[in-house]
Structure 1
Amino acid sequence: LPDEPDRPARLPVDRAFHLKGLGVVVTGTLASGTVRPGDTLELLPRGERVRVRSIQVHGQPRERADAGERTSLQLTGVALEDLARGMQLGLPEAFEVTTSLLARFTLLPDAPAPVRGFIPVRLHLYASEVLGRMRPLNPDGLAPGETGPVEIRLQAPVSGLRGDRFILRRPSPPATLGGGEVLDPRWRRHRGTILQQALTSLQKDLPAALPFWVQEAGERGVEAAELARRLGVPPAEVAKRLAALARTQKLIEVPEEHGRPRRWVNPAAVQRVTERARRVLKEHFQKDRLAESISKAEAVRRILRGRGAELADVYLGWLTAQKVLVVQGDQVTLPGRSAQLTSEESKLSAAVLELYEKAKLAPPSPGEAAQTLGAKPQILDGVIRHLVARGQMVKLPSGLLLAASALSGLRQDLLATAWDRFSVADFKDRFGLTRKWAIPLLEHLDSTGATRRVGDDRMVVRPGL
């Protein structure tokens, strides 16, 4: 990882005071990066932005402070009462704020007893002191003098990075328990095999930790900037390491597109999506044997979970390349799928189409059609959806159904009129329609470009005009 001077600026605050003639001043030892007058910094964990007016290093005015130097910053944009010892100033959006840490911890040899389960602690990290609870993650706990992974849950947020050193003290009676190193500043509780995998990966070097964090992000993947905030390094450095892992096929890279930054996804997440897609489509077409497709929106909702839908087009592209599915406009289907009617359903299909074509602009409801044809409603519903998918019938947005030929006839009748502009009342009277049918039909004609709405009226769109 980069040396401290090449990392984002980070100043743990150990004092804050008001100096006559200067205003608000904070002091601390610059942990990383550099600071110059005019820089904008983020006050952590509050998240507020402040500006540096002037700098002193070891009491002398400077135009720049470097990592490791004792530094005083004159600030604007923050009141003294909003500052406290233990806060940090850092490059905006470069650091993590957390209440849950995974750490490697050494219990002092003279500790009074082994630690098992949660115990109350006071965390000392740089100048911050926060109460919380700690528990060892090894099944046998932690004996005096032993080192092992622990989980720390805090009552208030702190800014922490992987690699930060800390001390834990017992609040009452006060006693130092030991010290350690942060392994994950955004620790999420895990169980079983995932917990063991997390502990194995995160206790190793960064090349092992990065793939686990990407795996933990799930189907949405992760951006370099997200992991950079756990490490306190520039996002470009993390992106370089993630790209190297992608070249060895340990990760899959999602290129930058339409303003979305590059992301990396764990191959296991892609495999889960692939298996789920096969299962979802199989169940859908088994349940609805006559369906030609499933809507793209519904497929995405059922195949991709949570924020994985942010990469919907990417996943659909991968699934198409694997011949798991085919995207047709706003529909998704199986490669080579063609719904086949039984002989009985074919006869019913012909009868339904004949019934609706004869009815023209006064078609029956599906219930009335089922009664007229003596068909079972469930079977009739499947046949109607099959006819709609084939374009032989049309389902209006209101849910009303009619034959496609009836709409074609309506379009021709409109063109045969001398109308350039007409009202809803004119339309109802001309074609003998109720408002229940007139409004959905006009909306359909508008959407297909046969008419154009002008205020409360419509204009007839004629070919060539």
Structure 2
Amino acid sequence: LHLQSPVVTTWNQPFVLRTESPVATVAGGHVMVPAARKLRRPNAETLQALAALRADEPTTRAAAAVYFAALPLAQASQLVRLAGVDEPDAVLQQLISSKQLVALSPSGQRQLLVPAALLDDYADRVAAVLSKWHDQSPLKSRFDRSKLIHEFAYLGDPLILQTVLQRMERSKRVRLSDRYVGLADRGPQLSKNEQQLFDQIVELYQSARFQPPTVKECEQQLAAKNPKVVKSLISLAASDGILIEFGDQMYLHADRERELRQIMQQRLAVTEGLTVSEIREALETSRKFAVPLCEYLDRIGFTQRLGDMRRLSHSFVDKEVEATAAAGPNPRHE
């Protein structure tokens, strides 16, 4: 039943529908679900839960009400309105024990109670979004989690999406790391050995900081039997956004690229400009890497070159660096 404006109702509350002109009774009944999530197609489980809303046993009614809930619960007393229970605290604990409700504890806030059915619904939405991204970028195996967080900002507390992703990972629906997420059955599929080699490559670039190895050096350091595999895995890491190409066949780990911009923003904010030599010292690297790194920053519009000096570009607003600086160190890639 869709209304023109919201009304306050409770479980089992009688209602009557009448036309305004001429005044006539159209229908009537009892409210079973005061605020329901959208159901695409009723299945056997949905019909069973609907019947359970009329059950005499309060826990059965509450479980059904939780199944249909459109929003997370903030407190046990909401079960009084949703299911007409007299002892909501006891019923709530039973629902949590049976895993029909998932209790989340946001930092500094009261407990958030999310129906498991609602988390499953969110998981389907996440899978649909990721599937669309995979269709658009078939060579990518995963995507930046920050992009997904922005897409699902309407869920409210970020802990809800985090819980959804963790549940999806446990059921092997997604590949998940600190910064990336992708559907487990989409994108290039790596063998166990290839995945191990991929992780070693990522770790090598992470630890190298601002003196990253060349593709050939990667092949030599990892003693790969098939050098072409190393090159293709580096390309895969770049397409996934884990590695950033800053020069011809020169890659930087994405965490280090953000660190690069953060260091440069901090240094250039208190001076009129820096030379390549000064930038080299700030990054603790050699001229071999400092020059292409400076050229990369010029190319993305982060810095401007004025003679032998680099200064911050006034047209470039690096919100990611500002957010990173406020949040503290970046988590390491798993």
TM-score by length of 2: 0.47
TM-score by length of 1: 0.36
Structure of greater Rg? 1
Q: Which has the higher helix share?
A: 2
Q: Which has the higher strand share?
A: 1
Structure number with higher relative contact order (C-alpha < 8 Å, ≥ 6 residues apart)? 2
